[in-house]
Amino acid sequence: MNKGIMKALVCCVTLLLLITGCSSSQETVQPNTESESKSKSKNRIVASTVAITEIMDVLELDLVGIPDTYKKLPERYKDAANVGFVKNPDLEVIKSLHPTEVLNVSTLEYDLKPIYENAGIEATFLNLDSLGKMEQTILSLGEKYDRNEQAKGMVSKMDDKVEEIKKLVAEKEKPTVLILLGIPGSYLVSTENSYIGDIARICGAVNVVQGEKVEYIGTNTEFLQQTNPDIILRAAHGVPDDVVKMFDKEFKENDIWKHFDAVKNGRVYDLEEEIYGTTGNLAATEALDEMMKMLYE
């Protein structure tokens, strides 16, 4: 009887040791799994503009938040939360995502930084004001997020195109341009400091507005008529179709425009909004090619 009890006790102890061993084995695996999960999700990035979203896609970085837009965004972000429009972010949604970084553009820093700060959200404002500054920003993001190869690949393609353009325009006569940026209800004049102005400059054009430090200035049609540019470029933003109609009406009803040589010679071009954004974007090489056609055809 005692031997039977002893055998039973031995079996129980052995079984307990086996169970404990299995449990210990599971417990040692579990923390590693959680660690890997945390490692993958440690970057909880929100992109507030389409241009930034597209850059992050090429950098192969996941996003937890993307902007509301009528444009098609990369498939990678189909499950990301919509965080409102760039100029009107949904702060509650952004906060609920517990982001490690909220990315916006420096052109909106003056207006949006106080809004984010009041909501207790720390935002980073990326400089995409010109092609060169966008390249620097891309390289900085590549270094920060260990995506140097992808970043250098993007920048290399842009640099190659710029070198190609420089060779093409080296011996050409430089045309003068007036660049109008239209939004619903009004329009401004773009200087060389704007992204589109920078694209035109790279292609050899001379902006009729010189000496300005800002990206855009107000319009004075009498002054602009005196500059008499060879070419007028019209960039429609906000609601592009409506802005193009606004431009057409302005050029038809305001008699001063008929005195511009660019109008007389049929050298007024509407820039496609998908390609010519208010900030730098990955359509830069296409923008350079299209600009060359408009300036030198």
Q: What is the pLDDT of residues 4-50, one digit of tens each?
A: 434 433 343 333 333 333 333 333 333 333 333 333 458 999 999 99
Q: Which of 52, 59, 220, 199 is nearest to 131 (CA)?
A: 199
Q: Are residues 115 and 180 in the same domain?
A: no
When divided into structural domains, the chain yields a total of 2
Residue 71, pLDDT > 50, answer yes
Q: Are residues 175 and 117 in the same domain?
A: no
Average pLDDT over residues 69-94: 95
Q: Using alpha carbons, list the distances in angstroms from residue 12 to 7, 8, 37, 157, 207.
A: 9, 6, 37, 70, 89
The reply to whether 17 falls in a domain is no
Q: Are residues 121 and 57 in the same domain?
A: yes
Residue 249, pLDDT > 70, answer yes
Q: Are residues 183 and 283 in the same domain?
A: yes
Q: Are residues 192 and 281 in the same domain?
A: yes
Residue 251, pLDDT > 70, answer yes
What confidence score (pLDDT) does residue 7 get? 41
Q: Are residues 184 and 256 in the same domain?
A: yes
CATH number of the domain bearing residue 201: 3.40.50.1980
Q: Using alpha carbons, list the distances in angstroms from residue 221 to 24, 124, 181, 225, 259.
A: 80, 37, 14, 6, 11
> Between vectors from CA 139 to CA 137 and to CA 142, what angle results, nearest 5°?
110
- Give the pLDDT confidence of 280-293 residue by residue, as tens digits: 999 999 999 999 99
Domain end call among 126, 161, 194: 126
What confidence score (pLDDT) does residue 185 get? 87
Q: Are residues 183 and 75 in the same domain?
A: no
Residue 62, pLDDT > 60, answer yes
In the chain, pLDDT over 90 holds for what percent of residues?
Answer: 78
The reply to whether 246 falls in a domain is yes
- Say how far apart CA 244 and CA 247 lie, in whole Å: 5
- Give the pLDDT confidence of 129-177 residue by residue, as tens digits: 999 999 999 999 999 999 999 999 999 999 999 999 999 999 999 999 9
Average pLDDT over residues 218-231: 90
Domain limits for position 99: 45-126
Contacts of 98 (CB under 8 A, 6+ apart): 44
Q: Which of 250, 279, 264 is nearest to 130 (CA)?
A: 279
The reply to whether 273 falls in a domain is yes
The reply to whether 24 falls in a domain is no
Its pTM stands at 0.83
> CB count, 10 Å around CB of 283?
16
What confidence score (pLDDT) does residue 46 get? 98
- Say how far apart CA 297 and CA 286 lie, in whole Å: 16
The reply to whether 37 falls in a domain is no
- Say how far apart CA 275 and CA 199 lie, in whole Å: 11
- Say how far apart CA 211 and CA 66 lie, in whole Å: 37
The reply to whether 2 falls in a domain is no
What average pLDDT does the structure give for the chain?
Answer: 87
Average pLDDT over residues 191-207: 96
